[in-house]
Amino acid sequence: MSGTRVESEVDVSAVAPRPGSRGVVLARLRDLALVPAIIAIAVVGYAVNPVFLSSDNLINILQTMSEIGLLVLAQTLVLVAGKMDLSLESTFGLAPGVAAWLIVPAGVTHGLGLLPGWTGVPITLAVGVVIGLVNGALIVRFGLNGFVVTLGMLIVLRGLLTGISGGQTFFGLPDSMLYIGTTLWLGVPVSIYLCLLLFVIGILVLGYTRLGRALYAIGGNVDAARAAGISTDRVLWGTLVVASVLASLGGLMLSGRLASVAAAQGNGAIFTVFAAAVIGGVSLNGGRGTVFGAFTGILLLYMIQNVLTLAGVPAQWIAALNGAIILIALIVSRITSGKAQE
């Protein structure tokens, strides 16, 4: 008892009220804010149609989610560092598109047939690196506005894909490009393993490494980050490259699953990506949010969409409902987090 008394005396002499560890607990809870919502949707889904909880359906949700999920992961890194990358959705289509263009034989589609099939994956990832470097050069090196630069890149890259494909879809992709989209390990597609693995790495890097914390510092107060000895330019540049590579990989997963690259691959995905990040508690102003939160955000969105499909909502109405869901999910996360979104 005497120990407690000493404690309380210290508290009385406190300079000011101390929000204390309650703040940390709240921050952690905010991370888990969407978990009850996810459980609720699962229950509703099961009530609507018991197929919802069948393993086939769950795998289907996770696989379609894993492709966009990588975009969400990429965008989360960029947002935490205080920037935005709109061009990710075009990279998502262009990177596998370039690989297909160089590999697929001429004739049926617009392919050039220049390179052997095994180069598909390296080319896809290399395109991601190049796009990231260009973004970095324009934003970090030349100090252009990140939002407008990546908006410009979004349009340019989309146009490039339309150009090389002639507006058509590439078919007949080499096996190497199909692997992660189609192969099953223990009955589960590789893309799901890969997506979950990358999210776990993302959680570890952002939560538990100096590099990851540097992203938060830069997004929170770039001058203070620099004063703490962080090479802010290099970190930002690296973040943009990693984000583009993740987007390329996501595109590769989708192309592999569909065994094709459509000229419109990724078109309009960026809205869902931003929505998932914000719903998951990532701030658009930088410095705030977690990879786990972003994961729950995209998972929630995809579960709701799946439930609607199972409920037999006509396809023509899905788009309108998707938009409405995002707005509702924003409201729900605003209520559960209790804080204004930024």
Partner 1 sequence: MTAVPAVRQSWPLVLAEDVHKRYGTTVALDGAGISITAGRTHALVGRNGAGKSTLVAILTGLQAPDSGTVAFGGEPAPNLADRDGWRARVACVYQRSTIIPQLTVAENVYLNRHAARGGGIGRRLISWSELRRRARDLLQTWEVDVDVNTLAGALSVEQRQLVEIARALSFDARFIILDEPTAQLDAPAISRLFDRMRGLQERGVTFLYISHHLEEIYRICDDVTVFRDARRVATGLVAEMEPREVVAAMTGDAVALIERAPRPPVPSSAPVVLSVRDVRVTAAEGTFEDAQSISFEVRSGEVVGLAGGGGSGKREMAEAVVGLRPHPGGTVSVDGRVLPSGSVKAALGAGVGLVPQDRHQQGFVSGLSIAENITMTVPDRLGRYGVIRPAVRDGLARRLIGDLDVKTPGPELDVAALSGGNQQKVVMGRALANDPRLLVLIQPTAGVDVRSKETLLDVVDRVREAGSAVLVASDELDDLRTCDRVLVMFGGRVVAEFAAGWSDSELIAAMEGIEE
The beta-strand segments (E) located in the chain are 184-185, 188-189
24 vs 114, beta carbon nearer partner 1: 24
State in angstroms the smallest separation of the CB of 30 from partner 1.
12
120 vs 212, beta carbon nearer partner 1: 212
State in angstroms the smallest separation of the CB of 88 from partner 1.
23
Dist. CA 132–CA 67, nearest whole Å: 19
Q: Report the first-to-last Cα separation within the chain, whole angstroms.
A: 45
State in angstroms the smallest separation of the CB of 35 from partner 1.
21
Contact (Cβ atoms closer than 8 angstroms) between residue 41 and residue 303:
yes
Task: Identify the burial level of 205 via C-beta atoms within 10 angstroms of its C-beta, where 0-12 means exposed, 13-18 middle and 19 or more buried.
Answer: middle
State in angstroms the smallest separation of the CB of 233 from partner 1.
15
82 vs 132, beta carbon nearer partner 1: 82
Q: What is the four-CA torsion angle of 35, 37, 39, 40, rounded to 10 degrees?
A: 160
Contact (Cβ atoms closer than 8 angstroms) between residue 110 and residue 44:
no
| Residue that is written with structure tokens 């990879």 in the block | 291
Q: State the DSSP H helix or E strand holding residue 47, giving kind and residue range, or none if neither.
A: helix 35-48
Please choose, from the candidates 53, 34, 60, the residue with its C-alpha nearest in 3D space to the C-alpha of residue 192. 60
State in angstroms the smallest separation of the CB of 217 from partner 1.
5
State in angstroms the smallest separation of the CB of 58 from partner 1.
31
State in angstroms the smallest separation of the CB of 212 from partner 1.
8
Residues forming a β-bridge with 170: 261
10 vs 186, beta carbon nearer partner 1: 10
174 vs 281, beta carbon nearer partner 1: 281
Q: How far is CA 18 from CA 8, 14, 22, 94, 220, in A?
A: 13, 8, 9, 51, 22
**Interface residue list for partner 1 (CB under 8 A):** 10, 13-21, 23-24, 27, 204, 207-210, 213-214, 216-217, 219-221, 223-225, 227-230, 283, 287-288
State in angstroms the smallest separation of the CB of 124 from partner 1.
28
Largest interatomic CA distance in the chain: 87
Q: DSSP secondary-structure letter at 146?
A: H
- Using only C-alpha atoms, what is the Rg of the chain? 22
Dist. CA 215–CA 82, nearest whole Å: 8
170 vs 237, beta carbon nearer partner 1: 237
Residues forming a β-bridge with 109: 106
13 vs 316, beta carbon nearer partner 1: 13
Dist. CA 82–CA 76, nearest whole Å: 10
| Residue 55 in tokens | 């393993």
54 vs 209, beta carbon nearer partner 1: 209
CA 112 to chain centre: 32
State in angstroms the smallest separation of the CB of 234 from partner 1.
13
166 vs 207, beta carbon nearer partner 1: 207
